[in-house]
């Protein structure tokens, strides 16, 4: 039975490797008779694989595209190539859906033979990922470890460094990994505090599963939790503005990772945005290039008025020697709508 199953997997791999095979070619590659090939083709069809054939002595067999995804059979070099590609997608965001790339990488790592896993580990240690500006570096092994912890559903001990570099060890119940486009966040329940928390994945030093399964009751929306925690991080100053836009349009203008939103009727939204100081927040608000009202504090409102007056004065007279330094500084903030906010 084992030999027959292995032969069927080998046959699927051959059929997937090129558009068409003759019966004789398949028999020669598998070191079996033509009759065995025909029997195996029949068995694959019974299992649900759409294997098409052309009649005649020169007819061939082929898998019909799109009918069903067969088991993926890779040789050593193909497995390493796929793993390296998935690693790059998970770390660099090239596919957009980084969760899918990370999940596929985790599944692949669980089924790789030891010889392939050892080669991949050696290659992993030699590869270097260059992050985007201000993007923290995180090892692929740590991402896989965190993803596996979420999948197992076991309580774990987390060695973590906070934003000030203080090291702590906590008991956590892992739940999800969330990617914001720049950073990975680990969502877990802090057992001692009995609170759902978000942890920067690049600040995790170690994770030790306890082997003790836990049942998570009423888990949060992980994406919403991460967005809220980023938007509400402790900033020196927070401005509250009112946008004459419904909530969905306000979220497109100021992402949930930048501000905390609440509707103010069907056609307006109030948003809290944190920043380093009044002038920095004023620059950010001008860069939004949309009507808005500053509700508080007065320091940001006054800074916004000063900047608006300066812009008006700089552009009031259309001369060639107009100094556009402030104007360029203001417009450069239009691309700052990410989770870092106007800092």
Q: Helix, strand, or coil here: 173?
A: strand
DSSP-derived letter for residue 334 is G
CA distance 221 to 176: 10
Angstrom CA distances, 313 to 251, 304, 318, stand at 32, 14, 10
Q: 57, 53, 44: which is closest to 9 by C-alpha?
A: 44
Quick: pLDDT tens for 181-228. 678 899 999 999 999 999 999 899 999 998 888 888 889 989 888 887
Phi, psi for 72 (deg, rounded to 5): -85, 115
Q: For residue 15, name the pLDDT band (cuts at 50, 70, 90).
A: confident
**Sign of the C-alpha dihedral, residues 235, 241, 246, 249?**
negative
Residues in Cβ contact with 80 at an 8 Å cutoff, skipping those fewer than 6 apart: 116, 119, 120, 123
Strand 269-275 with 204-213, pairing: unpaired
| DSSP H helical ranges for the chain | 2-17, 23-30, 34-46, 76-92, 98-111, 114-126, 140-152, 222-231, 247-253, 278-287, 298-316, 325-331
pTM of structure: 0.51
Q: What is the pLDDT of residue 98?
A: 54
Q: For residue 74, name the pLDDT band (cuts at 50, 70, 90).
A: low
């Amino acid at each position: 039975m084992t030999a027959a199953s292995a032969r069927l997997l080998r046959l699927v791999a051959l059929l997937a490797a090129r558009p068409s095979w003759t019966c004789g070619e398949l028999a020669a590659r598998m070191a079996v008779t033509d009759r065995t090939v025909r029997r195996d083709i029949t068995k694959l069809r019974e299992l649900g694989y759409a294997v098409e054939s052309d009649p005649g002595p020169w007819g061939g067999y082929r898998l019909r595209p799109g009918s069903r995804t067969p088991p993926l059979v890779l040789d050593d070099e193909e497995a390493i190539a796929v793993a390296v590609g998935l690693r790059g997608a998970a770390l660099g965001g090239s596919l957009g859906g980084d969760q899918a790339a990370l999940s596929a990488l985790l599944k692949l790592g669980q089924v790789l033979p030891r010889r392939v896993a050892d080669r991949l580990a050696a290659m992993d240690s030699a590869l270097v990922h260059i992050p985007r500006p201000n993007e923290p570096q995180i090892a692929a092994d740590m991402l896989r470890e965190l993803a596996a912890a979420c999948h197992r559903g076991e309580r774990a001990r987390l060695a973590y460094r906070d934003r000030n570099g203080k090291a702590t060890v906590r008991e956590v119940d892992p739940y999800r990994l969330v990617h914001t486009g720049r950073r990975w966040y680990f969502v877990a329940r802090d057992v001692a505090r009995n609170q759902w928390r978000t942890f920067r994945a690049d600040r995790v030093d170690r994770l030790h599963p306890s082997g003790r399964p836990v049942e998570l009751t009423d888990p949060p929306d992980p994406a919403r939790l991460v967005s809220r925690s980023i938007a509400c991080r402790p900033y020196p100053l927070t401005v509250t503005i009112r946008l004459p836009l419904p909530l969905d349009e306000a979220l497109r203008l100021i992402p949930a990772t930048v501000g905390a939103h609440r509707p103010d009727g069907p056609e307006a939204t109030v948003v809290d945005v944190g920043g380093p100081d009044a002038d920095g927040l004023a620059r950010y608000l001008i860069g939004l290039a949309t009507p808005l009202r500053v509700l508080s504090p007065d320091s940001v409102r006054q800074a916004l008025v000063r900047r608006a007056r300066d812009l008006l004065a700089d552009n009031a007279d259309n001369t060639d020697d107009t100094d556009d330094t402030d104007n360029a500084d203001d417009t450069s903030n239009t691309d700052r709508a990410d989770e870092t906010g106007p800092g």
